[in-house]
Every structure is written in C-alpha cells, then in structure tokens.
Amino acid sequence: MKTTMLGRCFETSRLALGGGGIGQVWGSTDRDEAIATVHAAYEAGIDFFDLAPLYGRGEAEHVMGLAFAGGYPDDVKLTTKCMLGDAPVDEIESRLNRSLEESCERLARDRVDVFILHGYLIEDGWSDCIRPSLLPHIGVQESRFAAHVVPVFEAWKASGRVAAWGITAASTQAQNLGALDAGAKPDVVQCITNLLDSPGGMAIAVEEPQPRDVIARALELGVGVMGIRALAAGALAQSIDRSVAPESAERRDFDRARAFRVLAAESGKSPAFLAHQYALAMQGVDTVVLGVKNRAELMECLAAEAAEPMDSSLREAIDRAVS
C-alpha cells in the first residue's frame, strides 16, 4: 500500500476505509463481516478509517471499537464527524462536545485524529436548496461556522483533543472555496472524487458541481483532500446493489455511465476497478475513501491501488465516454 501526506497533517495510506459500508449504509452486510473487513483493510496496509455517528446510527463506530477491542495499533488514524445543522448558537459547543464524546465511547478511544463537520456550509439566509426539508438538519450558516464552530475546532486542536479538523466540501461552490480561503482554514476537506464529478444524492443545489476546482485550491493551499464517492454511490459499478428510485440521482448517474461500463468490459476490468483507479489518479487527492461493505469489495479496491497508474489514453477515453 502506497502512502502519502494528508495535506500537512500526517502520513497515511492512499486508501482509507469509510464507515458507510461497514455501517450497513451501502447495502446488506453484517457486523461479523464488517469487523473482518476492517481487519483485512488494516492487514493490507490501510491505516486510515473514516467514521461518523450517522453511518448506521453509530454502527460503523461500534464496528471499529470491536475490531480493535484489544487496543489500537499506533499507526491507526481515525476520523469522526458531527451533523450540526442549524443548532442554536448557545448549543453549538455542547453539541459538538457531546457528539465527540459519544463517538469516542463507541470507538473505544479517547481521541480522534480528524474531526469533520458533517453536512454543508451554506450562505446565511440561503433558501434555494433542492432538499429544503433537510436543510435545517444538514446546513450550517457561514457566519455561525466562522464565529462558533471554528473556534471550538481550533481549541480542540490546540489542546490535543484532535490532531486536525475538516469539512465536507460538497456545498455550493462559493462556500466550498470560501472555507478554504478563510484565515482559519480546515486542515482537511472531503471532496467528491469520481469520473462523473457527481455528488449524486448529496447535491443540495442545482448549480453544476465543480469538485476538481476545490481539489486544486486545496492542493495549492496545502489542505489535505480525502476523496469520497469514488464509485458515485454505486452508480459506477456493474450494477447498483440496493434499491434506488428510478428518478434518483444515482439512477441518472448509472444511466450516464453506460458507455463507461462498455469501455470497462472492453478493457477486461470491472467498472469498480477502473472507477477506483481513476479516482486514485486524480491530482491533489491524498487518500480515497472506500465505501466497501465486505472483503470481496475491498479486494477489488486493493487491486486497483496496487496496479500501475492509469494510462493517460484510458483516462481520456473514460472522460469522453461520460462527457
């Protein structure tokens, strides 16, 4: 397993194991298989694990705690998150504290390496969300973030409670870039990293997503990039392994990737293999977070990481196939 620096934070594996799969978000699995997948990932050289309370209502964090019940190896790094939403100003710090404490209890660990604001930074007073009913739960206004969230994160970092903090840069582009250009900027951003540039069901606005511009800005500023959704929530696999609505973003992405699957078949590789290889080749992405839920899916991703870098002509053919 190749390693890299996560921005200016620490050295880490080029693949990270995400909590969505082992938290039973991305299709059916069970706890025993999830724990076995964590063990297999670590044995293969993955030393970075990306968790959150929302991944299976704490299940992914429980899985990690059980997988390393005898104690964590020194090289294991963990993230966790908090979905803050429009919490009242006088409750922001207590909610963040409670979320971190509860995560650490499930993880059987007294600290995490990166704490990430789950959800989206939004313009103050913004109301053009395509998922308006969810906005109060997932959106944090920029002014509250700067005045009440960042100071908590910076204080945690100064005290050693966390080594770094970050955001999910999947909001409107002005807010994605604005967070990077702020005086107190995140150490890490999670950013969409797939050949469609698609956030799928994560999208909150009608504007065209431009994740590669966010990645480029992060690289310029020395901010670490964790690439997420390399498989576009299953849309870049041979088939989607869970029920999705016909009008869903994932179904639209799956249909858009039809020519990509043909190209994968012609190359003798699976679509999932090529999708992960493509994500790993994206400049500025430090580590690619896997959404796998079992060891079989993990092995395919490990093979993509171990393979020679993607040939530029194949990359160009993929880009043409989905343009």
What is the per-residue pLDDT across 113-159, written as a single tens digit (0 to 9) for each?
Answer: 999 999 999 999 999 999 999 999 999 999 999 999 999 999 999 99
What is the three-class DSSP state of 290?
A: strand
pLDDT of residue 243: 83
* Domains, the chain: 3-322 (3.20.20.100)
pLDDT of 27 above 80: no
State both tokens at 163.
Answer: 């080594």
Bridging pattern class, strands 3-5 and 11-13? antiparallel
pTM: 0.96
In the predicted model, what is the mean pLDDT of the chain? Answer: 96
Residues 197, 209: contact at Cβ < 8 Å? yes
Bridging pattern class, strands 112-118 and 77-83? parallel
Bridge partners for 164 per DSSP: 114
Q: Sort 157 into a burial class: Cβ within 10 Å, 0-12 / 13-18 / 19+.
A: middle
Angstrom distance (rounded) from CA 303 to CA 236: 17
Residue from 169, 138, 140 nearest 152 by CA: 140
Angstrom distances, CA of residue 171 to CA of 53, 77, 176, 237, 286: 20, 26, 6, 25, 20
Residue from 37, 3, 8, 28 nearest 290 by CA: 37
Q: Determine the average pLDDT of the residues in 61-90.
A: 97
Angstrom distance (rounded) from CA 318 to CA 316: 5
Our CA dihedral for 36, 41, 43, 47, rounded to 10 degrees, sits at -130
State both tokens at 85.
Answer: 């939403």
